[in-house]
Amino acid sequence: MCRCVRGILRRSAWVVAALTIALSSATPSNAGTLTIDFNLSGSTLALGPVNVANGMGGTVTGMARLVLTGVNAAGMITGAMSNGTISGLAVNFAVNAPLLAGVDANLVGPISITQMGSAAGGFSAGVLSLATNSFNTALAVNLNCVGTLCAAIAAGAGLTFPIVQNAMISNNMAPFAVNLASLGANATLNAAVATMNAGQAVTLTFNGREAARTFDAPEPTEAGLLVLSVLALCGVAALRRRQTA
């Protein structure tokens, strides 16, 4: 510590307090950008008579990325407002479920949900509200029937296997609420979409658990820069004294 700083500290106790407050204001408690990747294997799908969850009616895999701005490393809002973005959401359902209970006819094949682009909205009280028409996904279905009664069921219901379908699902009626919890560590994500598709009710529930995270610390605040400037001036003063000695 240079003589300039030592002299200031000896002469004025309030300077010590001011420097302490200024230094603390430059810590990562200030607003930054929190990025969390979620594992969405806990998601579920109800498509007409088909219900799929991991380990029940098939297997589920998927990921999504959440980016929050205006928050600290624990996900707490530190400024006047915070925004968030969901991107890269993709969920795959490997279906293997009975077409009808107690009969030898299983629906087998993939159903995938893939987000188109990204969706942004405001973040408040643990909820990211994605603007209407911003959350757009592509639904791809390719289901076949395996079993001795498939042909009879298909004929009676007017079905043709395999069932191949591609459609778009979006939040075109209202904002899409993504509920977030435990953002300080081991964060969770929960959101649901309900719609109709080709006469079939579709309910998607996205359940995610944190897989990885990063936090981009903010630049030093003005108070922090002021402290650095004081120390720099002390260094200049000390150098001048040595030069004139």
Question: Domain 31-219 is of which CATH architecture?
Answer: Beta Barrel (2.40)
CA 40 to chain centre: 10
Per-residue pLDDT of the chain (245 residues; tens, 9 = 90+): 555 545 544 544 544 454 454 444 444 457 899 999 999 999 999 987 789 999 999 999 999 999 999 999 999 999 888 999 999 999 999 999 988 888 999 999 999 999 999 999 999 999 999 999 999 999 999 999 999 999 998 998 888 999 999 988 888 888 999 999 999 999 999 999 888 777 778 899 999 999 999 999 876 655 454 544 554 455 444 445 555 55
- Region of 7 (left: φ > 0; alpha: ψ -120 to 50; beta: rest) is alpha
The CA–CA distances, whole Å, from 30 to 19, 37, 149, 219, 236 equal 17, 22, 63, 9, 30
Domains of the chain by residue range: 31-219
Q: What is the pLDDT of residue 16?
A: 47
Write b or e for each residue in 15-24: b if 16 or more Cβ atoms lie within 10 A of its Cβ, otherwise e. eeeebeebee
Identify whether the C-beta of residue 212 lies closer than 8 Å to the C-beta of residue 38: no
Q: What is the pLDDT of residue 240?
A: 53
* N residues, the chain: 245
Please tell me the distance from the alpha carbon of residue 106 to that of residue 61, in angstroms, as a whole number.
21
Q: What is the pLDDT of residue 99?
A: 82
Please tell me the distance from the alpha carbon of residue 125 to that of residue 177, in angstroms, as a whole number.
12
Q: Which of 120, 119, 109 is nearest to 165 (CA)?
A: 109
Q: What is the pLDDT of residue 159?
A: 85
Identify whether the C-beta of residue 233 lies closer than 8 Å to the C-beta of residue 225: no
What 8-state DSSP symbol labels residue 105?
A: -
CA 215 to chain centre: 13
